[in-house]
Amino acid sequence: MQSFDSITIAILVAAVVVLLKLRSVLGQKTGHQEDLSDMFNREKEKRQKQEEGAAADNVVKLPTRTKSNNTSADADLDGKDPRLAQIDKIAKPRTKINKGLKDILKADDNFNPKEFMAGADMAYEMIVNAFAQGDTQTLENLLSSEVYKGFKSVIDEREALGETVKSTFIGIDESGVHAAEVKDFEAHITIKFVSQIVSATYDKEGVIIEGDDKDIARVKDIWTFARDTRSNDPNWKLVATEAGA
């Protein structure tokens, strides 16, 4: 496992805006299905009086390439920071997103746009798979305490009912920067993910009660990652999610 140029993605989902009922997957699916925000809001209301537990604020290092100072395809040929060229590939020059990414680069000298995007993709897949598998240990390491409580309560409810989820993460079709800015020394990058997932929820008798074990769902999510640029901690944390349109 290689280093992430000192940038690792630690996942903390702080705004429990669109946490699914989470029985299938995160996001907005195509087809005749109920809006996920409504599903989660109803689930949240049922748990309003449930005691809130604490969750660890740990991080998980993700595999990626080591930044090369001499052999990079983006080698500095004219004295400019090669990461500026990376930003121009990610977002069109003279756009608000492009400016926001360059502001982050100015505020955080360790920021590598290309490697950040690769790590964000890996982080997204890790969370989706961990939830489907009911892997609370992984989720506790990846999520903020607030969101971990939401995920775990749904997993606990699922287990109490004897329900199980079988899910196959096929892959990410698209991922791109939706917004970027530095706000009060904190860098924020919002990414829109479009992925394909096969997921089905079974009751204790093994009967499918939600989803489809053969249908491929197209899932859209918008996640916001943040990092305090003044901190020595290089880890980015997922601070907000919403369903993509």
Whole-number Å distance between alpha carbons of 23 and 143: 18
Contact assessment for residue 163 and residue 23, using Cβ atoms and an 8 Å cutoff: yes
Q: What confidence score (pLDDT) does residue 194 get?
A: 97
Q: What confidence score (pLDDT) does residue 38 get?
A: 44
Q: Which of 10, 5, 6, 212 is nearest to 123 (CA)?
A: 10
Q: What confidence score (pLDDT) does residue 79 get?
A: 56
Any idea where the domains of the chain sit in the sequence?
A: 9-46+57-64+82-243
Q: What confidence score (pLDDT) does residue 56 get?
A: 39
DSSP calls for 176-212 = EEEEEEEETTEEEEEEEEEEEEEEEEE-TTS-EEEEE
Q: SS3 for 164?
A: strand
The series of mean pLDDT values per 10 residues for the chain, 245 residues long, is 46 39 44 42 48 42 39 47 95 97 94 94 90 88 76 93 95 96 95 96 95 93 90 82 79
pTM here? 0.69
CATH of domain 9-46+57-64+82-243: 3.10.450.240
Q: Indicate the length of the chain as a whole number.
A: 245
